[in-house]
């Protein structure tokens, strides 16, 4: 009970100077998160340096809710690499393994075919209608590192938005009522 | 300063930091392992070899694959993904990699094996270049850790060739 009372009291006792300090510290938190994200984009050269695995098509290697760290370098794409690619007409990128590569002698263009480790057949069914191969521009990055379970946070938040609002609300309240 | 919320926050932050640190150390410890895997692949039979209606060469073959990959496993290894790819060069393409067979090895106990298999994926060329073609068979492995950095490497075996005529 005392805790709630304190909270109410502290909200009542907010002064303009304190309010400003809190606004600044909240802003610092948001901007530093943004800085870290953008810095990761620069370092890895990938549009989205971290992706969450959403399907079970790469099990048992990657399960739903695992996090992958991507890297996009100029290195040519080779069979066996796990790449993240976009297919025209599909919003969500796919993480699958490259099983075939044909690299052109003159132009260096590549034709790539992918497959999920846990899928029976290759990915031609997932590609756009009539598309046989992936090309360089479809590929957003290759997976280099792996962290289990952490992605569940974002999966839960996107699927149950109410939890997101509760969390943001609670954090906001904490920042406002903190007495530092 | 010493409210319940602060203590909880401090405890959680500390726990997450330690967990992250342990993940990093676990991943780094993989570097201490210097693997020495071995593999051998024999082509036992060319089952058939023909031109597809669309005009590309396609071949079906049976392989004997034996490998000892026990040294790839460390305490941070979740599984090892292996595959055999045919790799060759043609006039048009500087590199063709066609995956023929793959497997997931879930545990060290099963990483020394022998198997006879025909190609699991279709061995189709990007044209009509397979007759009399010399190619390499490469055993690639991809070590997937429990956490951290993934490792990949390969053993290249050369000196395989396809027949001069369709069968």
Residues from chain A that touch B3, judged by Cβ atoms under 8 A, are 3, 6
Identify whether the C-beta of residue B69 lies closer than 8 Å to the C-beta of residue B56: no
Whether residue B138 is contained in a domain is answered as: yes
Structural domains counted in chain A: 2
For chain B positions 65-84, those within 8 Å of chain A (CB to CB) are 78-79, 81, 83
Identify whether the C-beta of residue B33 lies closer than 8 Å to the C-beta of residue B143: no
Q: Could you list the pLDDT tens digit for every one of the 167 residues in chain B?
A: 578 878 888 999 999 999 999 999 999 999 998 889 999 999 999 999 988 888 889 999 999 999 999 999 999 999 999 999 999 999 888 999 999 999 999 988 988 999 999 999 999 998 888 888 899 999 999 999 998 899 899 999 998 989 888 87
Q: What would the mean pLDDT of A111-128 be, rounded to a whole number? A: 89
A89 and A136 inside one domain: yes
The C-alpha atoms of residue B134 and residue B127 are separated, in whole angstroms, by 15
Q: What is the pTM of this model?
A: 0.82
How many helices and strands, by DSSP H and E, does chain B display? 1, 9
The C-alpha atoms of residue B68 and residue B72 are separated, in whole angstroms, by 9
Q: State whether residue B110 sits within 8 Å of chain A by CB.
A: no
Radius of gyration of chain A (CA): 22
B50 and B71 inside one domain: yes
Closest CA to B131 of B47, B59, B75, B53: B59
A102 and A143 inside one domain: yes
A81 and A20 inside one domain: no
Q: Which domain holds residue B93?
A: 34-161
Q: What would the mean pLDDT of A113-140 be, rounded to a whole number? A: 88
Non-local CB neighbours of B76 within 8 Å, separated by 6+ positions: B26, B27, B29, B30, B145, B146, B147, B148
A26 and A106 inside one domain: no
β-sheet bridge partners, residue B63:
B43, B117
Classify each residue of B115-144 as buried b or exposed e, where b means 16 or more C-beta atoms within 10 Å of its C-beta. Answer: eeeebebebebbeebbeebebebbbbbbbb
The CATH number for A99's domain is 2.10.109.10
Q: State whether residue B122 sits within 8 Å of chain A by CB.
A: no
Whether ipTM exceeds 0.90:
no
- Interface mutation target, options A58, A102, A118, A167, chain B, most CBs of B under 10 Å: A102
Identify whether the C-beta of residue A143 lies closer than 8 Å to the C-beta of residue A84: yes
CA dihedral for B15, B16, B17, B20, sign (positive or negative): positive
Closest CA to B124 of B114, B133, B116, B111: B133
Query: Is there a contact between A80 and B98 if contact means CB atoms under 8 Å apart?
Result: no
B3 and B53 inside one domain: no
pLDDT of B40 reads: 92
Residues from chain B that touch A102, judged by Cβ atoms under 8 A, are 93, 95-97, 126
Whether residue A165 is contained in a domain is answered as: no
Structural domains counted in chain B: 2
B111 and B154 inside one domain: yes
Q: Which domain holds residue A22?
A: 16-45
A128 and A141 inside one domain: yes
Q: State whether residue B54 sits within 8 Å of chain A by CB.
A: no
B11 and B63 inside one domain: no
A63 and A29 inside one domain: no
Closest CA to B126 of B80, B62, B58: B58
Query: In degrees rounded to 5, what are phi and psi of residue B122?
Result: -70, 135
The CATH number for B49's domain is 2.60.40
Whether residue B156 is contained in a domain is answered as: yes
């Amino acid at each position: 009970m005392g805790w709630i009372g304190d909270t109410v009291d502290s909200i009542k006792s907010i002064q303009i100077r304190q309010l400003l300090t809190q606004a600044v510290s909240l802003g610092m938190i948001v901007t530093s998160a943004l800085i870290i994200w953008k810095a990761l984009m620069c370092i890895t050269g990938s549009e989205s340096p971290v992706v969450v695995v959403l399907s079970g098509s790469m099990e048992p290697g990657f399960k739903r809710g695992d996090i992958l760290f991507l890297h996009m370098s100029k290195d040519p794409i080779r069979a066996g690499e796990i790449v993240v690619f976009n297919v025209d007409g599909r919003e969500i990128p796919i993480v699958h393994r490259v099983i075939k590569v044909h690299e052109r002698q003159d132009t260096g263009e590549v034709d790539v075919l992918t497959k999920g480790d846990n899928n029976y057949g290759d990915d031609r069914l997932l590609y756009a209608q009539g598309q046989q191969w992936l090309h360089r521009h479809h590929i957003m990055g290759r997976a280099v590192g792996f962290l289990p379970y952490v992605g569940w946070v974002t999966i839960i938040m996107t699927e149950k938005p109410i939890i997101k609002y509760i969390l943001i609300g609670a954090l906001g309240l904490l920042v406002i009522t903190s007495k530092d | 300063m010493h409210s319940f919320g602060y203590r909880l926050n401090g405890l959680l932050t500390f726990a997450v930091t330690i967990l992250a640190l342990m993940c990093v150390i676990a991943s780094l410890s993989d570097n201490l392992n210097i693997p020495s895997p071995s593999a051998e692949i024999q082509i036992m039979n060319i089952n058939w070899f023909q031109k597809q209606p669309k005009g590309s060469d396609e071949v079906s073959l049976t392989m004997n694959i034996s490998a000892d990959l026990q040294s790839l496993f460390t305490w941070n290894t979740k599984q090892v993904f292996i595959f055999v790819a045919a790799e060759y060069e043609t006039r048009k393409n500087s590199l063709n990699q066609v995956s023929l067979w793959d497997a997931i090895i879930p545990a060290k106990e099963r990483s020394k094996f022998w198997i006879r298999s025909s190609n699991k994926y279709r061995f189709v060329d990007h044209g009509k270049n397979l007759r009399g073609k010399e190619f390499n068979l490469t055993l690639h492995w991809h070590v997937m850790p429990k956490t951290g950095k993934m490792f990949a490497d390969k053993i290249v075996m050369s000196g395989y060739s396809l027949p001069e005529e369709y069968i």
